[in-house]
Structure 1
Amino acid sequence: MPFYRDLNPKEKDADKRTVERLLLLRKQLNEEIPKRTQKKTLLLATWNIRDFDADDYGKRLDEAIYYIAEIISCFDLVAIQEVNKDLTGLKRLMNILGGYWDVIFTDIPLGKRANQERMAFLYDKRKVKFGGLAGELVLPEKNKKGAMKFTQLARIPFICGFTSGWTKFMLATVHIYYGTEKGAEPPERIEEIRQVAQKLKKRTKDEDAWARNLILLGDFNIYRPENKTFQEIIKAGFKIPKKLQELPANAKKDRHYDQIALMTRKDSLDWTGKAGVFDYYKTVFCDTPEDKAIYMRYMTEYETTKEGKPRKESSKAIYYQTYWRTHQMSDHLLMWIELKIDYSDEYLRSKLK
């Protein structure tokens, strides 16, 4: 449970609104997300939190940080992409999550294409233990003859090892480069995904690998499951639950950017059949005239652009929905999956054989 002690709804209107919305958000979470268990299952999620927390549209309001913390607290382990080089936003989030939660994050990558983004894993220490493994996927210098000329990934995937219950597993989170070419299947994006999927597959086959269970998750910038970008993950042997394949995970609900792909051994980290995408915009920063009016005073560039030019009515119409509120929450929704981690019965039965 996040820490709410600094909220003062009796004296501050913003805090009153925050508490009211938190109650609605908690109700939605209770209805849509499975209950966390002490030892039977692991609730894993991935979330690209837009420019977290750059100030392109102003720093996030305190209430946005509370909503983000409330959502994350419903899971055991969450991979986050687009963490800003300035860690202030992450620190604000961790303060609300409290001392049971810990975080592991990358350094700032070099190169313009990386956009100075970090990646992070947030986890509840009561349920998940960091296993000591932390690294980045650096590709070999040489590729096979005839392969597309390729140097290095724009944003290097972040890999960590964790244990929970009976299970030992590696997580690899990615934010695949969108590229300069428009469309669903630019060659560079396809090649990045192919390289990542194949190299990680090879890693799980290594007898010295820290774990044989591996989950690849994050923002792949995939348009649709039928695209080559998606198929490169499947070709490598990863399994993506059908339920997740059917769910777009961007705020507009027209792209399948985010994915959770499994390469796990049977009876060691099995999918329970529960998975989904959580749309928090049903209860916070809603796309309604009422909410738009509430937050108008926070939108410093609603009437004029950064350059001081009057904003056109057509631009005003989408400013709140498409830009401002997605820099409070995100332009991606959170994707989650429930996994089995308790194999006590299976182990005991094996003792009888």
Structure 2
Amino acid sequence: MKTKNAIITEKPPQEVTENLVLLRQDLDLKVPPKKLDKNLLIASWNIRSFGNLTRKWASEEGDSPKRDLHSVLCIAEIIRRFDVVAIQEVKANIRALRDTLKVLGGHWSMILTDVNKGRAGNGERMAYLFDTRKVNLSGLAGELVVPHEWSKKITENALKEQFVRTPYAVSFRSNHQTFILITLHVLYGKKSTDRIKELKGIAQWLSQWATDINAYHHNLIVLGDFNIEERGDLLEETFLSEGLFVPEALQEASVTRSIFNETKYYDQIAWFNGAGRKPRLSMTFVNGGSYNFVDKALANRGLTRNNLSFMISDHYPLWAEFKL
């Protein structure tokens, strides 16, 4: 017998409610609490193919996509633990995103890009979700483009074309602090060296912006899926080559990024820390980590990790806490 369709604002079945209690209890233990005017929790999350959803509490064999209302409640429960979340892999169809906002409530808002056209862009958008009780827009929003002059460079790793998925910069204000977040999703390519030019390009772009006296302001934080394979590899070296800084707390081996492989180092949150005449971040970093949802989200469903990756994600959310 097929499960009937439902809407996200309806009361969920008992087994869904019980699973959400389990998830909340785990989040309470592993993610710092939000404190008005005292801390700022910034997160980055590549939510796999975050587009359409099946409007049932539990999707069934033959349903497409597999992501269902239970999945959205779990995603929303994780997102609400942060003040602003940069999301990668938002698709052209934003049904799941809109339902997530409904669950989060009227004090949450979003800003997002148009869809990246072309095969390489994979029909993706960049988005930010933010809790307006603590964070508001402060006036700047734009997509980063490669200066024409860069195409004339003859160095081996020069970026000679635009970013495949355009990085998205948005400025926010929280209490007395203003900051620009730049999120991106680096093209995976056929081999790891295919990513070097984009990684070098974004590092150079940010370095120039950070030192520009006409910049909007200097609190720049870059976050997203950089598709860096391992700690200390050439991709990471390229990403950090212009002075970007990743705090030690986010370099720990225990801070995993992928639900499939603990060594992968795909996702990053980084900023300039005063080296090489770059401006120092004015916000004080407190702590950071990732949230492993595998044993809690949809725990009652008996899913394989592969199935879970399509219903929640194949990436863990990465977060950083700052003192205000």
Scaled by the length of structure 1, the TM-score of the pair is 0.80
Q: CA deviation at 1:142?
A: 2.9
Alignment: residue pair count: 297
- In structure 1, which of residues 204, 213, 220 is the aligned counterpart of residue 219 of structure 2? 213
Q: CA RMSD in A?
A: 1.8
1:180 is matched with which residue? 190
Matches within 5 A, 1:234-273: 234-246=240-252, 247-252=255-260, 253-263=262-272, 265-266=279-280, 268-272=282-286
Once the two structures are superposed, what CA deviation does each residue of 1:196-238 show, in whole Å capped at 9, x if it has no partner?
0111111111112111010010000111121111112222111
SS of 1:154 mapped into structure 2: coil
- Unaligned runs of 5+ residues in structure 1 are 9-14, 296-319, 342-353
Structure 2 residue 320 is the aligned partner of structure 1 residue 337: yes
- Counterparts of 1:45 and 1:146 in 2: how far apart (Å)? 34
Q: CA deviation at 1:268?
A: 1.9
- Unaligned runs of 5+ residues in structure 2 are 1-7, 54-62, 274-278
Aligned 8 A contact 2:74 2:298 in 1: no
Aligned 8 A contact 2:52 2:95 in 1: no
- In structure 2, which of residues 214, 234, 249 is the aligned counterpart of residue 228 of structure 1? 234
1:159 is matched with which residue? 169
- Counterparts of 1:219 and 1:189 in 2: how far apart (Å)? 12
2:258 corresponds to which letter in structure 1? Answer: N
- In structure 1, which of residues 318, 321, 341 is the aligned counterpart of residue 305 of structure 2? 321
SS of 1:209 mapped into structure 2: coil
2:213 corresponds to which letter in structure 1? Answer: E
- Counterparts of 1:59 and 1:159 in 2: how far apart (Å)? 31
Report runs of 4+ in structure 1 exceeding 3 Å deviation. 54-57, 264-267
1:328 corresponds to which letter in structure 2? Answer: M
* Greater shift in the superposed pair: 53-62 or 137-146: 53-62
1:57/1:243 Cα in 2 relative to 1: closer, same or farther (>3 Å)? farther
1:94 corresponds to which letter in structure 2? Answer: L
Q: CA deviation at 1:248?
A: 2.4
2:146 is matched with which residue? 139
Structure 2 residue 200 is the aligned partner of structure 1 residue 194: yes
SS of 1:91 mapped into structure 2: helix
Once the two structures are superposed, what CA deviation does each residue of 1:222-260 show, in whole Å capped at 9, x if it has no partner?
111211111122221111011211222111223111010
- Name the structure where helix makes up a greater proportion of residues: 1
Once the two structures are superposed, what CA deviation does each residue of 1:269-303 show, in whole Å capped at 9, x if it has no partner?
1201x1111011121234xxx732xx6xxxxxxxx
1:244 corresponds to which letter in structure 2? Answer: L
SS of 1:119 mapped into structure 2: strand
Matches within 5 A, 1:1-353: 6-8=10-12, 15-54=13-52, 57-143=64-150, 144-148=153-157, 150-181=160-191, 185-186=192-193, 188-246=194-252, 247-252=255-260, 253-263=262-272, 265-266=279-280, 268-272=282-286, 274-286=287-299, 291-292=301-302, 320-322=304-306, 324-341=307-324
Q: CA deviation at 1:5?
A: 5.9
* Greater shift in the superposed pair: 153-162 or 46-55: 46-55
Once the two structures are superposed, what CA deviation does each residue of 1:301-331 show, in whole Å capped at 9, x if it has no partner?
xxxxxxxxxxxxxxxxxxx321x22111000
Q: Percent identity?
A: 36
Scaled by the length of structure 2, the TM-score of the pair is 0.87
Aligned 8 A contact 1:219 1:258 in 2: yes
- Counterparts of 1:157 and 1:262 in 2: how far apart (Å)? 15
1:271 corresponds to which letter in structure 2? Answer: F
